[in-house]
Structure 1
Amino acid sequence: MKNKRWILWILVTIALVVLALFIRARVQFSWAVFGQQLKQADWRRFAIAVALIYGGYVLRSVRWSIFLKPVKRVSPFSILGSQVIGFTGVALFGRLADLVRPYLVARRVNLTVGSQVAVYTVERMFDLGAMALIFSLTLLFAPDRNALPHHELMVKVAKVSFIVTIGLAIFAVFVRVSGGVLAAFTEKTIGALSPGIGKSVADKIRAFRDGLDTIDSVTDFLLAAGVSLAMWALIVLAYLETLWAFTNSPELYHMTLARCMVLMAASMGGSIFQLPVVGWFTTILATSATMHAWLGVAPEPALGAGAMLLIVSFLSIVPVGLIWSRFEHVSLKRVTEESEEAGDREIPAEIVAAATAAHPSVSAPPPSL
């Protein structure tokens, strides 16, 4: 497995170098102008953006405590350190540290790692649903949606995203109520053609249902949904504050919510490669290229904004996480290895696959949260 990871790192690094050389040959870029853009930016807005991102981490802890209610009453602030340290691990070690947060929470509240990975699975669902809903509604109803590049395509994407989000929500309710019946039906029908595939699909449905068991009532569902929407609203505001800080770039200083949604989508696409350090540059390149090619931002402020968006939404937690880990006597490298071993040893592969399949890294998700 480790050899495969090194091969992947090398391939992605080579691709990044080739892409950087291609961009350098096609785009006129001045490092002096780049430095001037950063120097003349409004750094107070960067500080506000970081504060908003930190607020998102607090809301993550609140939501996790809601998911824990069926089995244990836990104060959100008691697991806040696990959230902060876990996201620090993801920022430094990439997807290798995906299970650090559920592993640390499990140790903190004396529950099994598998139960917390189930919570993590549901958390991913709420993240994707909240972000998709905000993205869709913004592009469908924002006053400036018709001014977006390729606005007709954007509106179509928003409509599809909205329909898919609603459809997945209905499917989740059905699985929560009748997941066992659906799994048995799937295993029987698909298994008639391919027993292996039928069993695999049925196991994934059961794992999905087990994760949804963390939602105890309609009230808890609505509360978790509200917290999710509030958290992603903070992330969107953090993005806007970061972009508005570049006062010498008219396109960034007057950035609208609809255009910001396009950038966030590009940032999520760039964060697919959650490799240590390398993933930072894929995110910066994806976001900067979107600003330059789609929104008409000059290369220098586009690169500066791309770098600051990564720092604010994804890397700003690292100093706090490193300090917190020292106070809690947690070695990030060791806990990353231990969480991975625990996942291989204690958790069914279907649950791990469901949990890590979707990882919005903007503060994330990303961030990222």
Structure 2
Amino acid sequence: MLAAIAAVVVFGRHRIHFNWQIFVEQIQLATWWRIGLAIALIWIAYAVRAMRWAVFLSPSRKVSGFKVLGPQVIGYTGVALLGRPADLARPYLVARKLRTTLSEQIAVYVVERMFDLGAMALIFSSVLYFSPDKKTLPHPELLRHLALTGLVGTVCIAILAVFVKLRGAIMADGTRRAFAGFAPKLGEGIADKLLAFRNGLHVLSSAREVLLAVTYSLAMWLMISYAYLETAHAFVESPILSQLSLARCMVVIAAGMVASAAQLPVLGWFTQMAALAAILQGFFGVAWEPALGCGAMLLIVTFLSVIPLGLLWARFEHVSLRKIAAESEHAGEALEHAHNSAASE
């Protein structure tokens, strides 16, 4: 890991003119109340996420959002410190706390991801498509097509979810028959995924729950979006960052999400920070010093700020992050193996 970081530094030091003194000054002169507000928005978003998880659980049991807030905070702390392999810690911790099966909580996790994707796609697409400064964005035609694709894709996901929920078994059986002649294993795999998706959708049993989940999802991702925006606006010494529009911020958020998709322990912090800085510099012409400063602060605000709270919560609940991450990964593998064995019989 250290060798990889050193290689990046050696590669870039003669290609990028960077002044560390200016970088430090950019950090020192930042508006810290804006950064504090951004962290507060991220922390509130965790609470909203817990309330949404409680909504997903409501068909089988009634719990408060606070009941599942601890697993959310501890789980995201595990991801920040240990990387994406710790992502199953959240459903594992909820299952252990509520004394339910892991498969039930993984079903919630799958539907949660669907709502995250849909909410972010809807916000991203709406802002980019209707923003007054959309023509000033880099590659405006490409972004316009991406925005339109996102809106259409969100609608298609919603329609697909309805069909799978109502006719999932029929769709799975039809998929098996369609692939039986030339790729039976592929057909069986797709059918299994459809059935797993249908089983996950049982967490939404009424229109009220769907509406609540959509409301919480949109509220949460709007908070996250404005946390990005407030962090950028905190860099008052950079005219571009201090006046960054919401549409431009959406491009930065998309880059951050892509960079964090395969998060590695610690090393992933640097790759995510570098990706954010590269987008700010390459797309919007921000100087490297404030771009890297903003990238580092965005990483802290949106990804690492949960760590102190999560460590305190884990200590209070006597949870070992490494142990929970390992147990949840093994439990997930065992669950998948059992499912594959049952499907092959």
**If the TM-score is normalised by the length of the shorter chain, which range does it land in?**
over 0.9
CA contact (8 A) 1:84 1:317 kept: yes
Q: In structure 2, what is the Cα distance between the partners aligned to 1:223 and 1:95?
A: 28
SS of the aligned residue for 2:83 comes to: helix
SS of the aligned residue for 2:235 comes to: coil
Flag the 1:160–1:43 CA change in 2: closer, same or farther, 3 A.
Answer: same
CA contact (8 A) 1:34 1:301 kept: yes
SS of the aligned residue for 1:79 comes to: helix
Q: 2:265 aligns with which of 272, 276, 284?
A: 276
Question: Is 1:233 equivalent to 2:222 in the alignment?
Answer: yes
Mark the runs of 5 or more structure 2 residues left unpaired by the alignment. 341-345
Q: 1:162 aligns with which of 145, 151, 158?
A: 151
Cα deviation for residue 188 of structure 1 reads 1.1
CA contact (8 A) 1:203 1:350 kept: no
Question: Is 1:143 equivalent to 2:132 in the alignment?
Answer: yes
Cα deviation for residue 191 of structure 1 reads 2.0
* Pairing of 1:1-369 with structure 2 (within 5 A): 14=4, 18-347=7-336
CA contact (8 A) 1:40 1:248 kept: yes
* 1:359 match: none
Task: Give the counterpart letter for 1:144 in structure 2.
Answer: D
Cα deviation for residue 323 of structure 1 reads 0.5
Identity %: 51
Q: In the TM superposition, what whole-angstrom CA distance separates every residue of 1:149-203 from its partner, at most 9, and x where no partner exists?
A: 1111111111112111211111111101111100010011112222211111100
CA contact (8 A) 1:83 1:101 kept: yes
Count of matched residue positions in the alignment of Structure 1 and Structure 2 = 340
SS of the aligned residue for 1:55 comes to: helix
Cα deviation for residue 328 of structure 1 reads 0.2
Cα deviation for residue 272 of structure 1 reads 2.4
Q: In structure 2, what is the Cα distance between the partners aligned to 1:63 and 1:279?
A: 28
Flag the 1:327–1:22 CA change in 2: closer, same or farther, 3 A.
Answer: same
TM normalised by structure 1 equals 0.89
Cα deviation for residue 129 of structure 1 reads 0.6
Task: Give the counterpart letter for 2:162 in structure 1.
Answer: V
Task: Give the counterpart letter for 2:226 in structure 1.
Answer: L
TM normalised by structure 2 equals 0.95
Task: Give the counterpart letter for 2:270 in structure 1.
Answer: F
CA contact (8 A) 1:269 1:286 kept: no
SS of the aligned residue for 2:315 comes to: helix
Task: Give the counterpart letter for 1:315 in structure 2.
Answer: L
Cα deviation for residue 218 of structure 1 reads 1.5
Q: In the TM superposition, what whole-angstrom CA distance separates every residue of 1:137-157 from its partner, at most 9, and x where no partner exists?
A: 000001111111111111111
Cα deviation for residue 223 of structure 1 reads 1.0
Mark the runs of 5 or more structure 1 residues left unpaired by the alignment. 1-8, 352-369
